[in-house]
Chain A
Amino acid sequence: KNEVEQSPQNLTAQEGEFITINCSYSVGISALHWLQQHPGGGIVSLFMLSSGKKKHGRLIATINIQEKHSSLHITASHPRDSAVYICAVTDDFSGGSNYKLTFGKGTLLTVNP
């Protein structure tokens, strides 16, 4: 089973700061997902990637398959970015089930005005 580790567990930033959240995993994957969960709220998929880099607005996600590592960056952070950010992976499907995600424990981000 894949082990997914996120760092840091908690992150506090000032509005406008550049933020990086890291995710590492132990076994080869077919895809990595970044999700966002606002306090008391539902979960929203931000990115799904299997190589390279993706950008959506102020959010950038990168992945290094060889190093088994992904980062989520937030540029010009804003208080509305305060949420839990969750990394999840799908194991390389050549080995079996494609249906299951293995989740990290999440990173709680607080952006102060």
Chain B
Amino acid sequence: NAGVTQTPKFRVLKTGQSMTLLCAQDMNHEYMYWYRQDPGMGLRLIHYSVGEGTTAKGEVPDGYNVSRLKKQNFLLGLESAAPSQTSVYFCASSYREVWNQPQHFGDGTRLSIL
């Protein structure tokens, strides 16, 4: 079992470029999440999904879009990258609501916007 796999692991973009981060899980989890981690701050939820075909906004959704076309994949898109989006992005998944099950995290994607 690979668990939660994020691709790419590192990326450098120029302001205004677009890109998609891919998260794949092989645990048949219903719930998936995208977080960003910035120095001096706790992880913050960007978007989440409670099942195939569903998405919802988290705490900091502006500038990002997501899609969950297949249960195992959760994509995070940046349409026009900005320096403020320089961060480490983590994907996570869980079988049920977080109060009942732990979240499983990927290894993160380090994204720099110049």
- Contact A102 B90, beta carbon cutoff 8 Å: no
A63 nearest CB across to chain B (Å): 13
- Contact A42 B108, beta carbon cutoff 8 Å: yes
Other-chain residue from B40, B97, B108 in contact with A99 (beta carbon distance below 8 A):
B97
Size of chain A's interface in residues, with CB distance under 8 A?
25
Cβ of A52 within 8 Å of any chain B Cβ, yes or no, is: no
Q: Which of A68-113 contact B (CB under 8 A)?
A: 86, 88, 90, 93, 98-106
Other-chain residue from B40, B97, B100, B105 in contact with A42 (beta carbon distance below 8 A):
B105
Cβ of A48 within 8 Å of any chain B Cβ, yes or no, is: yes
Total A-B contacts with CB atoms under 8 angstroms apart: 65
* Contact A101/B45 with A31-B98, A93-B97, A93-B99 known, Cβ cut-off 8 Å: yes
Main secondary structure of the interface of A (DSSP, over half): strand
A98 to B44, CA, bound (A): 16
Chain B residues positioned under 8 Å from A104 (CB to CB): 42
- Contact A105 B42, beta carbon cutoff 8 Å: yes
A103 to B90, CA, bound (A): 13
A18 to B99, CA, bound (A): 29
Closest to A98 in B: B97
- Contact B99 A4, beta carbon cutoff 8 Å: no
Closest to B43 in A: A103
- Contact B102 A33, beta carbon cutoff 8 Å: yes
A50 to B102, CA, bound (A): 12
A103 to B42, CA, bound (A): 5
Cβ of A43 within 8 Å of any chain B Cβ, yes or no, is: yes
20 new A-B contacts at CB < 8 Å, known A44-B105, A45-B103, A105-B41: A30-B99, A31-B100, A41-B107, A41-B108, A42-B90, A42-B105, A43-B92, A45-B104, A48-B101, A90-B99, A98-B98, A99-B33, A99-B97, A99-B98, A100-B48, A100-B59, A100-B98, A101-B98, A103-B42, A106-B42
